[in-house]
Structure 1
Amino acid sequence: MERMSMRLTEPIWHRYIPIVLLLIAFTALGSAYTAEFAYSLEPCVLCIYQRIPFAVIGVLGVLAYLLKGRMAMVVLTALAGIVLLIGAGLASYHVGVEQHWWASVASCSGASDQALSMREFQALLQQEPGKACDEVDWTMFGISMATYNVAFSGVLGLGGLWAAITMRAA
């Protein structure tokens, strides 16, 4: 265990942070867009929201590449960990909606309780209805993409915070 900790505190380790952050963003967003466009899996509103933290991770990766210095890497790694944990929270909420543990956001159901004018109502009828957030289109071993995202984001988020703490302590 000590040897692993020593590797993370070596001065050269922080140089890999931009690559790691960009790989995380590319892998997650690439998987989501591949599922959507190559396999025609329509995302719901919560699926789209879950992409936002990974886009932020991509921006943090670019910033990590542009900024030099160990302290900048510590801060960006900690921010990445926090963003990924927020993403895990969003994914956890989505899993709860899929499992019917709680109600979804209003934009997932397609229903509206607002009074609409006739013109607004006609425009609404012409729109293609969005996918319901409680419908699971794809599973692997009985586990949905949102559930995999909870694990992926949670583990990477905790790992990011651990790496930031370890680098700061060095």
Structure 2
Amino acid sequence: MPLNRTTRPVSTTALGGLYVLAGAVALGVVWFAEHWLQLAPCELCLWERRPWWVLIGLGIITIVLPKRYARYGVFLGILCLMTSIGLAVLHAGVEHKFWPSPAPECRAPVFHGGNFRDWMSTMPARPNKPCDSPDYLFGLPISMTELGGLYAIVVFVVALVGSARMGRSRR
């Protein structure tokens, strides 16, 4: 099937740039929320940041590699975005109390026996925020976790469409 004149192929460099930009925006928003809005992240929030760091790395690798190898970076980025969506669903389920958090840091520490000094030594240096306590921005009835998941879905769809166009340009 020949390419339609209105459908232009997407380069791996453009998709790598999308990954770098999308990851930087996601991490920039959470940095702003944590440092300017003083919102404390829970452990699952910290888990949700990891795929964005990986996506930035994959984007840089995809930009640098030759086109025939860069395709693998594009597809790994799509898997990374799927991971981000999955973590957002997991965290949203914890926030809505559909299931308990898999992170042990989200639960209160249990201490048996000992004295006050021993008990205090088991406490974390920085208090953890409960994972089932959502943060809402700008008065919206949707948590930051759900907003992050929606953002990951949008980036995923754009990357998927771009990779389909990239695949068509090969034929």
How far off its partner does 1:44 sit?
0.2
**Aligned match of 1:157:** 156
**Aligned match of 1:93:** 90
Partners of 1:68 and 1:122 lie apart in 2 by: 55
Bigger shift: residues 102-111 or 55-64: 102-111
**Aligned match of 2:22:** 24
**1:102 paired to 2:88:** no
Name the SS of the counterpart of 2:159 in structure 1: helix
**Aligned match of 2:65:** 67
The residue correspondences of 1:71-86 to structure 2 (distance < 5 A) are 71-86=68-83
Deviations 1:54-77 (A, max 9, x none): 0001101110222121x3332211
**1:148 paired to 2:147:** yes
**Aligned match of 2:9:** 8
Give structure 1 regions of 4+ aligned residues with deviation exceeding 6 angstroms: none
How far off its partner does 1:107 sit?
1.6
Any conservation in 2 of the 1:108–1:133 contact (CA below 8 Å)?
Answer: yes
Q: Which runs of 5+ in 2 are unaligned?
A: none
Q: Which runs of 5+ in 1 are unaligned?
A: none
How far off its partner does 1:157 sit?
2.0
Instruction: Tell me the TM-score normalized by structure 1.
Output: 0.84
Deviations 1:64-96 (A, max 9, x none): 222121x33322111111101111000101001
Change (3 A) 1:126 1:22: closer
